[in-house]
Amino acid sequence: MKAPNLHLNLLRASERQSSSPVRLRVMLPVLAALACVGCLVWWGVLAGQLMLVKAQSASLQQDLAAKKAEHGGILNQKSDERNMQAELDQLTMYAHGRRTYGDLFRQFAEVVPEGVQLMSLEIPEPPVQMLLPPGAKPGPKVRPLLGPTNTVEGVTLRVFGRTVKETPVEALMKALEGPAFTNALVIAKDVPADQASPRIRSFQQDTSPADNGLRLLAFDIEYRCAERRFEK
C-alpha cells in the first residue's frame, strides 16, 4: 500500500528557517568580516615587523659605520704596532749586532812585543748596504727598509805597524793566536790564501825616515774577526 502523499504545506521554502544556532547566512558575513579583520591584523603585524626590521637595519648600519671607523683605527694601530715592532726588532738586531773592541785592544796592548811600533789599528767600514725595498727606485716617497737585508756582515781588523826585524812581528802574531783572542779573532791557516786569517797584506821597507836613521820595516796584517750578525 502506498501511503497518502498529502502534504498541504503553506510554508514556502524561502520562509523556512534553520534551527541550528550556527546560521550560514549569519556566519558567512561574520566569517568574511573576520577574514578581512584577520588580513588587516596580519598586514598590520607585517608592517610593524617591517618597520622594526628597518629600524634594526638602520641601527645596524650606524653601528657598522661606527665599527668601520673603529676598525680602521684598530688597523692603523695594528699597522703602527707592526711598524714599531719591526723597528724594535731592527733595534734589537742592531743591539745584537753591536761589537765591542775594548777588551781586544786592552789585551792587544799587553801582547805587543818590544821592537814593534803599532801605527794604527783599523776596522774598515763595511760596504753600504742596499736599504730600498726590492724593485723600488730611489725617491722621496719610497720608504727605506729599517735594517740591512744581509744579516751577516764580515768584520776585519787591519794592524799597521813598524818594526826593525821580522821576529817581533812573528811574536805578535803568535800572541794573537792565544786563548785571550779566540773569541775576537779568527785564525784560519790551512785554507786558500784569500780566505786565510791572519793574512799578511804587506811587509816591506818603511819609506818614511826614522829619527835615528834606522831602517824600519812596515807591516800590514789583516785579521778576520767574528762575524757581525743582525739577529734577535
Nearest distance, CB of residue 1 and other proteins, angstroms: 4
State the amino acid at position 126 in one-letter form.
P
Judged by the rule CB under 8 A, the positions of this chain that interact with other proteins are 1-21, 23-25
Q: Which CB atom, from 25 or from 215, has the smaller least distance to other proteins? A: 25
Q: What is the DSSP letter of 226?
A: P
Candidates 118, 152, 124, 158; CA nearest to 228 is 152
Nearest distance, CB of residue 18 and other proteins, angstroms: 6
Q: Which CB atom, from 23 or from 78, has the smaller least distance to other proteins? A: 23
Nearest distance, CB of residue 15 and other proteins, angstroms: 5
Q: Which CB atom, from 7 or from 98, has the smaller least distance to other proteins? A: 7
Q: Which CB atom, from 18 or from 57, has the smaller least distance to other proteins? A: 18
**CB neighbours of residue 163 within 10 Å:** 22
Candidates 201, 205, 92; CA nearest to 146 is 92
Nearest distance, CB of residue 37 and other proteins, angstroms: 23
Q: Which CB atom, from 14 or from 120, has the smaller least distance to other proteins? A: 14
Cell numbers representing residue 100 in the block: 765591542
Nearest distance, CB of residue 10 and other proteins, angstroms: 5
